[in-house]
Structure 1
Amino acid sequence: MRKQHPGLFALIACILLQPAAVIAQTSFQFQYGKLTNPFSGAEEYTSILTVQQAAQWRYGDSFFFIDFLEDGVPDGFNDKSIYGEWYPTLSIGKLTNTEISIGPIRDISIIAGFNADSDANVLKYLPGVRASWNVPGFFFVNTDLTALVDASSGTAHGGAPTTSNSFVFDINWGTAFGTDSQTFGFFGHAEYIGSQTNEFGSEVKSWLLVQPQLTYDLSKAINGEGNTLFVGIEYQYWWNKLGTTTTENVVQLLVVWQL
């Protein structure tokens, strides 16, 4: 359920100017929309506060976010829940000090992902490989292929059922467009996760999650400098949400404050 950074184009620009520097960009996001509990079918307006950071260092990059979710309904789902993901990478090109160019692929990286949820006591490891692509008009386009290794404690410790291991394929992107005084960003990702079997022998269905964000740089319109305050929407399409038969289509309000 990876998120993206609507102001990441500023970070990318800095990285291009200072390729050896350690650069990080942190943002706070607020989302609000009517999300579905896939286990009960109930739909509740849910607030999500996200702390997010994208960074690059000498041998790779890092992306993480932490969500704080609350839907106001004490049903065991999104009840003051905390969910986070972290994706550090090591660039093969930077590690070997060689230029990797395979057609439109500009670099290959080793990725080590971590997903954790406090409400369900879930912990997943995602080791794998990333291909970074040269796509005209985009700051970045990455494709990630990773394993999905379950390290959760399971129902015996009050958490969600453990599952068999699987795989994840994810594509994530970012671009911006507009005029000298008006800037829009288009960021997002789409992931496919293979089916699994839980500790009771039941199938956890494969799922597809698509989360594009369209943002407007409000701070640029106000003070001419920009890259501070963004407003927009995030569309979420989730087929077989969390491995159930529920499909979710929802548009959420999005406000971003970028440091």
Structure 2
Amino acid sequence: MKTLTFTRTAGLLVLAASWNAHAADWSDTSLSYRYGSKFAEPYNSSDIVKHVLNFSHVSGYKYGKNFFSVDYLISDKHDPSAAGATTGAHEAYAVYRHTIDLGKISGANLAFGPVRGVGVTAGFDINSKTDAGYNSKKRMLVLGPTLMFDVPGFLDVSLLALHESNAPYNGFTQTATARYRYDTHAMLTAAWGIPFTLGVPLSFDGYANYIGTKGRNEFGGPTAVEINVDMQVMYDLSAAVGAAKNTFRAGIEYQYWKNKFGNPARTVPGATARTPMVRAEYHF
């Protein structure tokens, strides 16, 4: 019954977000590209080259904001697309979040200390990957409170409950696993975008996730606490090419991902990634 209530509540909030999307007061849509040669995947001891194309959209309306992002990740041959293949795997990973500002809905001032507002966030993650060993088909609903901090740009910190499942297919053994639901678990997450200058216009953007253990995995093995931090320093080069502010941005990015997907790094090769990247964005 608790799982059903969680699912219904998250679903209703996501549906409410779609109804309000047409009434956006502001929005930012972007296409981006990033490249790195030190990606890692669990049970794979090789460094993997990936090209990542991204579409993102963020918008705000009277009572909250929406965020939607889709990554399309293209691996090299070290993350093969199938058993014995010389071509790399492809993956699509989508994230949606909707945050309702409780102060704006109630008319109350919920600010305190460095916090300017309090909200509730709901959304989902969904992916599909064609690779030799796992062929992930993740489905995840999220729901929980959010604190919005009073900083230049934005800093949101949320404590979310995660309701996650997967239904992998092993290309080596040709074994399909029925959709398996992990224990509902918690994630402490932060997302930020902080503008600053060092003689040129820059911004410090990113997210950080601390994800609790999710019980046994679909094969009966243990899961571990997961840490995923992705940080970018971006330069706004729009003025140099005669475009409006924040139209074209380029910079460097670094991702640290320990116990990736809950796989314990102490026993699983490739479960920790340390990945420097270059990144370019076009906003419209």
| TM superposition score category, shorter chain reference | 0.7 to 0.9
8 Å CA contact 2:165–2:179 kept in 1: the answer is: no
| SS of 1:30 mapped into structure 2 | strand
8 Å CA contact 1:133–1:142 kept in 2: the answer is: yes
Q: Any residues of structure 2 matched to 1:1-259 within 5 Å, and which?
A: 22-34=25-37, 35-73=39-77, 75-76=80-81, 79-119=89-129, 120-135=136-151, 138-153=152-167, 162-178=181-197, 182-196=200-214, 197-223=216-242, 225-244=244-263, 245=265, 246-259=271-284
* TM-score, length of structure 2 as denominator length: 0.77
8 Å CA contact 2:155–2:191 kept in 1: the answer is: yes
- The 1:229–1:236 alpha-carbon spacing in structure 2 relative to 1, beyond 3 Å, is same
Q: Residues of 1 paired with 2:35 and 2:179: CA distance?
A: 25
8 Å CA contact 1:141–1:171 kept in 2: the answer is: yes
8 Å CA contact 1:122–1:159 kept in 2: the answer is: no
Q: Residues of 2 paired with 1:234 and 1:27: CA distance?
A: 17
Q: Which sections of structure 2, spanning at least 5 residues, go unmatched?
A: 1-22, 83-87, 130-135, 170-174, 266-270
Q: Residues of 1 paired with 2:206 and 2:239: CA distance?
A: 22
Q: Residues of 1 paired with 2:42 and 2:168: CA distance?
A: 19
Report the equivalent of 2:8: none
Q: Which sections of structure 1, spanning at least 5 residues, go unmatched?
A: 1-19
* Mean Cα deviation higher: 205-214 or 65-74: 65-74
Q: Residues of 2 paired with 1:97 and 1:157: CA distance?
A: 51
Q: What is the deviation of 1:21? A: 5.5
Q: Residues of 2 paired with 1:81 and 1:141: CA distance?
A: 29
Q: What is the deviation of 1:154? A: 5.6
Q: Residues of 2 paired with 1:256 and 1:122: CA distance?
A: 27
8 Å CA contact 1:182–1:221 kept in 2: the answer is: no
8 Å CA contact 2:24–2:59 kept in 1: the answer is: no
8 Å CA contact 2:81–2:90 kept in 1: the answer is: no
**1:131-178: per-residue Cα shift (whole Å, max 9, x none)?**
01123xx31111110001024446686578542221110111111122
Q: Residues of 1 paired with 2:243 and 2:128: CA distance?
A: 41
8 Å CA contact 1:164–1:198 kept in 2: the answer is: no
* TM-score, length of structure 1 as denominator length: 0.84
8 Å CA contact 1:109–1:129 kept in 2: the answer is: yes
Q: Count residues with an aligned counterpart.
A: 237
| SS of 2:44 mapped into structure 1 | coil
8 Å CA contact 1:219–1:227 kept in 2: the answer is: yes
- The 1:224–1:75 alpha-carbon spacing in structure 2 relative to 1, beyond 3 Å, is closer
8 Å CA contact 2:161–2:186 kept in 1: the answer is: yes
Q: Residues of 1 paired with 2:220 and 2:235: CA distance?
A: 46
Higher Cα radius of gyration: 2
Q: Residues of 1 paired with 2:109 and 2:94: CA distance?
A: 33
Q: Residues of 2 paired with 1:154 and 1:33: CA distance?
A: 26
Q: What is the deviation of 1:199? A: 2.6
Identity of aligned residues (%): 27
| SS of 1:204 mapped into structure 2 | coil
| SS of 1:227 mapped into structure 2 | coil
